[in-house]
Amino acid sequence: MATVKIVAKEDEIEYLSRLGKEGISHALNKPWSDAKRGLYLQEVGALLSVMPAPPSKLLDLGAGSGWTSCLFAMSGYSVTATDIAPDMIALQRENQRRFNVDLDDSVVCDFEDLPFVEEFDIVVFYDCLHHSDDEVVALREAYKSLKPGGICVTLEPGRGHSKTDASLAAIETMGTTERDMPPSVITRAAKKVGFSSHQIVDRPTSPVLISNKRNPSVRAILEFTKQFLVRGTPLASTRGHIVVLTKGDAPSN
């Protein structure tokens, strides 16, 4: 598994302060502020499709400004959002007001050191497990936080992510940790932790290929794959997958 850089937690804590005024506004207004807003909404829809129906208690890890947490809450889940950066928690509270929803809680904590024990039916890593120092530690904390029979859902990038231009720029300018996090890495760590089973689901890709014919046009397909063909990295591998991990009803040995 490729790892470009593992950084101190201080870089993650200071992330928002390094974004500047425009960056903070972008973070607060996601997904609407982002050119990939359609893709983000597809991804949230995909997560909702693999999770048990509400009402359930959901822990949204590394939730940033909390836009995913608010959408989960609007869907009927009882949501606790976390982030390592206190400034992000402030944005979560602002988004609660703007989305007109109530989260159960917004907690400042590191998802590799969680304060919860068997409290949640669902734990979600939305594009954040690949920022961890150790995925085994992070998944162990998720496992500990789940009730027996609960599930952990990860939506993460695959192989090649750490070498993309966007990742290299984030490492250089923001000090973030960017790692490849393909399903094989997640499921191997999950087995060590004690999860009893897993399911792998395709992650939505962008742009959606829409056609009034039976198959997408050749032009659309070429546009869709061009950047990955140039880079020489398989599209599905780079884009990643959704992995659903199940905690058994009985305590792990």
pLDDT tens profile 112-165: 999 999 999 999 999 999 999 999 999 999 999 999 999 999 999 888 877 777
Confidence of residue 221 (pLDDT cuts 50, 70, 90): low
Handedness of CA 66, 48, 252, 181 (dihedral sign): negative
Is the pLDDT at 2 greater than 90? The verdict is no
Task: Please answer whether residues 102 and 96 qualify as being in contact, where contact means their C-beta atoms are separated by less than 8 angstroms.
Answer: yes
Give the number of C-alpha atoms closer than 13 A to the C-alpha of residue 19, restricted to the C-beta side: 19
Q: What is the pLDDT of residue 162?
A: 72
Across 66-85, average pLDDT:
97
Q: Which of 28-32, 193-197, 235-239 has the highest mean pLDDT?
A: 193-197
Residues 6+ apart with CB under 8 A from 136: 189, 192, 193
Q: What is the pLDDT of residue 210?
A: 52
Task: Please answer whether residues 177 and 18 qualify as being in contact, where contact means their C-beta atoms are separated by less than 8 angstroms.
Answer: no
Fold of the domain built from segment(s) 9-246 = Rossmann fold (3.40.50)
Q: What is the pLDDT of residue 1?
A: 34
Average pLDDT, the chain: 84
Task: Please answer whether residues 244 and 195 qualify as being in contact, where contact means their C-beta atoms are separated by less than 8 angstroms.
Answer: no
Q: Rounded to the nearest 5 degrees, what angle is found at the Cα of 144, between the Cα atoms of 52 and 111? A: 90
Q: What is the pLDDT of residue 165?
A: 76
Q: What are phi and psi of 53, to 5 degrees?
A: -65, 150
Q: What is the pLDDT of residue 253?
A: 46
Across 158-176, average pLDDT:
72
Is the pLDDT at 57 greater than 90? The verdict is yes
Name the percent of the chain in helix, strand, coil, to the closest 5.
45, 20, 40
Across 87-108, average pLDDT:
95
% of the chain beyond a pLDDT of 70: 77
Task: Please answer whether residues 139 and 220 qualify as being in contact, where contact means their C-beta atoms are separated by less than 8 angstroms.
Answer: no
Q: What is the pLDDT of residue 7?
A: 42
- End-to-end CA separation in angstroms for the chain: 28
Confidence of residue 23 (pLDDT cuts 50, 70, 90): confident
Q: What is the pLDDT of residue 218?
A: 56
